[in-house]
A and B are shown apart, each in its own frame.
Chain A
Amino acid sequence: MMAETENETFEEKMKQLEQIVKQLDEDEVSLEASLKLYQKGVELTAECEKILKDAELKVETLNRKGADDEQ
Chain B
Amino acid sequence: MSSKMENSKYLSVGALTRYLKYKFDQDPYLTRVFLKGELSNVKRHTSGHVFFAIKDEQSVVRAIMFSRNAGSLKFKPEEGQSVLVEGRVSIFESSGQYQVYVEKMEMDGIGLLFEKLEQDKKQLAEKGYFDAQHKKPLPRYPRTITIISSETGAAVKDMITTLGRRYPLVSVTVINTLMQGPRSRQAVIDNLGYADRLENDVIILARGGGSIEDLWTFNEKDVALKIFEMSTPVITGIGHETDTTLVDFIADVRAATPTAAAEMAVPDQQDILERLHQSENHVSRRLAQKLDSSRSRLDTLGSYYKLKNPDLLYDQQAERLVNLKDTLDDRMHNAIKDSSYRLSAMKESVRYNTPGPEIRRGAETLMERRGQLDRAMRIRTGDSRKGLVRVIESLNSLSPTNVLLRGYSFTTHKGTIVKDAHQLELGDEVQSTFAEGSIVSKVTEVNHDGRN
Residue numbers of A with Cβ under 8 A of B are 1-2, 9-11, 14, 17-18, 20-21, 24-25, 29, 31, 34-35, 37-38, 41-42, 45, 48-49, 51-52, 55-64, 66-71
Contact = CB atoms under 8 A, between A and B. Distances in A.
A71 B150 contact: yes
Interface stretch (B125-133, B160-168, B300-308, B411-419): B160-168
Nearest to B194: A64
B168 A41 contact: no
- Interface centre among B269, B273, B276, B284, by most A CB within 10 Å? B276
B294 interface: yes
B183 A45 contact: no
7 contacts: A10-B143, A17-B276, A24-B290, A38-B284, A42-B280, A67-B187, A68-B178
A60 B168 contact: no
Contact of B160 (A14, A41, A59, A66): A59
B279 interface: yes
Nearest to B141: A11
B143 A1 contact: yes
Given A62-B175, A62-B176, A67-B175, A57 B283 contact: no
Interface in B265-294: 269, 272-273, 276-277, 279-280, 282-284, 286-287, 290-291, 294
Contact of A1 (B171, B178, B280, B290): B171
A41 B283 contact: yes
Contacts, number: 126
A70 B178 CA distance: 7
Contact of B169 (A17, A49, A52, A62): A52
B166 to A, nearest CB: 10
B263 to A, nearest CB: 14
B271 to A, nearest CB: 11
A59 to B, nearest CB: 5
Contacts of A9: 141, 143
Contacts of A21: 279, 282-283
A57 B168 contact: yes
B206 to A, nearest CB: 15
Interface residues of B, number: 45
Nearest to B186: A66
Contacts of B282: 21, 24
Given A1-B143, A31-B291, A68-B151, 18 more contacts: A9-B141, A10-B169, A21-B282, A25-B286, A31-B294, A34-B287, A35-B287, A41-B283, A45-B277, A57-B172, A61-B151, A62-B176, A64-B177, A66-B187, A67-B175, A67-B187, A71-B150, A71-B180
Contact of A24 (B164, B187, B269, B286): B286
A39 B4 CA distance: 115
Interface string B186-214: 01001100100000000000000000000
B170 interface: yes
B283 A20 contact: yes
B279 A55 contact: no
Given A14-B141, A56-B168, A67-B191, A34 B286 contact: yes
A17 B273 CA distance: 13
Contacts of A58: 171-172
Contacts of A10: 141, 143, 169
Interface in B114-166: 139-141, 143-144, 150-152, 160, 163-164
A11 B140 contact: yes
Given A24-B283, A24-B287, A59 B141 contact: no
